[in-house]
Chain A
């Protein structure tokens, strides 16, 4: 198994999703809804 590639793909996906959720949370916070 090529674990470094698997981990790379996993971490990249996780980072992208967390980044999007963080951006959305900040946007809602700016609107005073969090």
Chain B
């Protein structure tokens, strides 16, 4: 239930990062889209989300839908480290990580502070929306069980 609640918000944020990233890429790189490692692996993540959502909604029995979705989610999980390390493994147009755990961030401070505030806001928004959606799913399943 949590996974199906997460998948919609996750797909929306993945789409937003690709769309706003291409809006940033046009004036910065001079192109809307390049098939480099980070953007392509993020696009695969979007397709995995779409596949997960359509698989779950195509099966009527919630238990069978959950099981099928779980298998796809485990397969899809392999993509997460690929996305994270893609800028280190391959030499790409996309810049490397700007914020590291134990090193000085390479991003300018006037950009770092708003980014951290927005990051916190996006986390809080996601948590609120996901918990509200999971409540909806619980109510719907309770009605189905009656």
User: Which residues of B does A touch, CB under 8 Å?
Assistant: 8-9, 12, 15-16, 19-20, 23-24, 26-27, 125, 129, 132-133, 136, 139-140
Interface of chain A, main secondary structure: helix
Q: Determine if A5 and B26 form an interchain contact, defined as CB atoms under 8 angstroms apart.
A: yes
Residues of A within 8 A of B15 (CB): 16
User: Which residues of A does B touch, CB under 8 Å?
Assistant: 2, 5, 8-9, 12-13, 16-17, 20-21, 24, 27-28, 31, 33
Residues of A within 8 A of B139 (CB): 31, 33
> Which of A5, A21, A31 makes the CB contact (< 8 A) with B129?
A21
A2–B19 Cα distance when bound, in Å, is 16
Q: Determine if A5 and B23 form an interchain contact, defined as CB atoms under 8 angstroms apart.
A: yes
Q: Determine if A12 and B133 form an interchain contact, defined as CB atoms under 8 angstroms apart.
A: no
B13 to A, closest residue via Cβ:
A16
Q: Determine if B133 and A24 form an interchain contact, defined as CB atoms under 8 angstroms apart.
A: yes
A23–B41 Cα distance when bound, in Å, is 28
B132 to A, closest residue via Cβ:
A24
> Which of B19, B20, B125, B133 makes the CB contact (< 8 A) with A17?
B125
